[in-house]
Amino acid sequence: MNKAEILSFFTILRDDNPHPTTELIYSTPFELLVAVLLSAQATDKGVNKATVPMFKVANTPEAIAALGVDGIKNYIKTIGLFNTKAENLYKTCQILIEKFNSVIPENRADLESLPGVGRKTANVILNTAFKQPTMAVDTHIFRVGNRTGLAPGKDVLEVEQELLKRIPKDFMLDAHHWLILLGRYICVARSPKCAACLVYNECQFKDKTA
């Protein structure tokens, strides 16, 4: 995809959805961190089903740590890998209290020092909570980047780096949300809905359907 096609691609997505956001339900950077930490191999709807009731009872590092690992498990047991996630969330809350005065750090290194927080999760927090122009590449964005020709790469880091280089600055802050929504609902893994795609003409996918 050349520069003109990329500009058209994101202009179309912006015009259709000027203020995109995550489908995770949260009201603070900490709640977002918890939701994203729990979202690996789970749907946003599944995460929301667990976190909304939990946040009514506990939505600070102190309150969630006070639940203990078993208490956390009771809220998130419907989410995949809930045992490991409960352990990681408990430890993350302890570190936030002891090391960061219960404030979510605004830099990648400190975020990635938290249990269960990898590069993708850190990028989501930096972008969505702190409005930094980062790119969190999940399976949807990896697929869209490669399939459309927007940012081909052999792994998520390569796709991330290509997206950061290719996406015009004016679109960078919201690009993560546009791409994930495109991949989640239109450019799906099996039988992509090409006929319903707003960026059909810009897409370079050789096997796109009419």
Q: Which residues are annotated as catalytic?
A: 120, 138
Instruction: Give the position of tokens 């058209």.
Output: 8
Residue 129: closest CA among 117, 142, 146? 117
Q: Which residues contact 99 (CB under 8 A, 6 or more apart)?
A: none
Question: What is the distance between the alpha carbons of residues 110 and 134, in angstroms, rounded to a whole number?
Answer: 16
Task: Count Cα neighbours of 114 within 13 Å in the Cβ-side half-sphere.
Answer: 34
Distances (CA, A) of 124 to 74, 155, 182, 190, 192: 26, 18, 17, 25, 25
